[in-house]
Amino acid sequence: MLNKLDDYPIHQTPEPIAHPATSDPNFYDRTWFNGYSEDGTRYFGLGMAVYPHRGILDCHFSTIEAGGRQHCFYGSRRAPQERTDMCVGPFRIEIEEPLRRIRVVLDDNKSGVGCDLTFTARTSAIQEARQVLWHRQRRVMDATRFAQFGRWSGTVSHPDGEYVVDETSWRGTKDRSWGVRGVGERVPMGAPGGPRSAFFLWAPLQWDDHVSHAVFFDGPNGEVLVREGLTSPMYSSPADIPGELDDVTTRMATAVHRLEFQPGTRWVSRAELDLIDMSGGVRTITMEPQLRFQFKGLGYGHPTWGQGMWKGELEIGGESFDPDELNPLAPENLHVQQVVKVADGQRQGIGALELIVVGPYAPAGFNDMFDGAR
């Protein structure tokens, strides 16, 4: 099965581009973005992913303003063979210039949520370390991810109003990932196994002239599964970004996190991050949450609009909810991203702190699958 990309010299296996190198049904290829105002009062997130072996292309867009409801658009269709087709009903992603500028459009639809937004990169594309997780002898995650930081411009509308996104006061992060991870309806695997713990923390932060980034996967006792920290320069325009082959990222020797949780929840009330360089120097960053965004609005853990779930040839939907009225310990509400103001003693910045903790996690005193902080 051929598509337009087969006309380019980009093949990595003897198969056409439409054929992933693995037959694992959980193979995916995803584009994700966040955007937030510098005062921490508005946020939006969006994503689109193709699941070739499941035959699904789906997308999500969701936004929240401080003190208001979170509004969500969901879309899903049968995946086209043409990988350059990045449309699901009224939603589309247009790559105007690879690794530099992308436009996202959500036309009028029954959800009442819409947008016309342009992301302009201000950093090089930063490849994270390969992320591999195991459950006993089975590899349950094997993914490559890169992040890119930038500015947004455009407009967003929702059932409670609309707002302008001005590139002088809006920042955001692009996240591209592909590989294998748990998505969609679960595939029967024979003898049942016990429940698995999960801890994931992702902290893309923006400062005046650079970005910092940290990624953590921990085991139930806080043991290191994946841990990475880095910094990278930020440029005034896409034209100033060095070529893709220029590695301008500074890798840390390691990173360490310290988290305080809101009582009765698994949501963070305050956090600290240590970036430890190759010489042992420590940069401590404090993170103060400003606004909470529920990741079920982007399909993560959503009971009916979860990622990679078959909804039909083409289906769209939406919902709005008050985040303050949610049960914080319901499984679909554990995964959040918070806009955070950050400081390191010399500088101030802003960014996002994404976190999900499922199951026992000794450093926080979590003993069961869904108990909250005391």
Which pLDDT score, from 0 to 100, does residue 149 have?
98
Q: With cut-offs at 50, 70 and 90, classify the pLDDT of residue 131.
A: confident
Give 148 or 131, the one with higher predicted confidence.
148
Flag the least confident range among 66-70, 125-129, 335-339: 125-129
pLDDT tens profile 291-301: 999 999 999 99
Which pLDDT score, from 0 to 100, does residue 236 have?
94
- Most confident range, picked from 19-33, 58-72, 116-130, 190-204: 58-72
Flag the least confident range among 4-18, 62-76, 334-348: 4-18
Name the residue among 272, 275, 286, 284 with its Cα closest to residue 250: 275
For the cut 80, the answer to whether the pLDDT of residue 187 exceeds it is no
Which pLDDT score, from 0 to 100, does residue 246 have?
65
Name the residue among 126, 342, 121 with its Cα closest to residue 251: 126
Which pLDDT score, from 0 to 100, does residue 19 have?
87
Which pLDDT score, from 0 to 100, does residue 94 have?
98
pLDDT tens profile 226-279: 999 999 999 999 999 987 656 799 999 999 999 999 999 999 999 999 999 999
Which pLDDT score, from 0 to 100, does residue 143 have?
87
Q: What is the mean pLDDT of residues 101-112?
A: 98
- Fold assignment, 28-181+196-364: AttH-like fold (2.40.370)
Which pLDDT score, from 0 to 100, does residue 340 have?
98
The whole model's pTM is what? Answer: 0.94
Which pLDDT score, from 0 to 100, does residue 133 have?
81
Question: What's the gap between Cα 289 and its chain centre?
Answer: 17
Dist. CA 205–CA 281, nearest whole Å: 19
Q: What is the mean pLDDT of residues 207-220?
A: 96
Q: Percentage of the chain surpassing pLDDT 90?
A: 82
Contact 191, 350 (CB under 8 A): no
For the cut 90, the answer to whether the pLDDT of residue 184 exceeds it is no
Give 350 or 23, the one with higher predicted confidence.
350
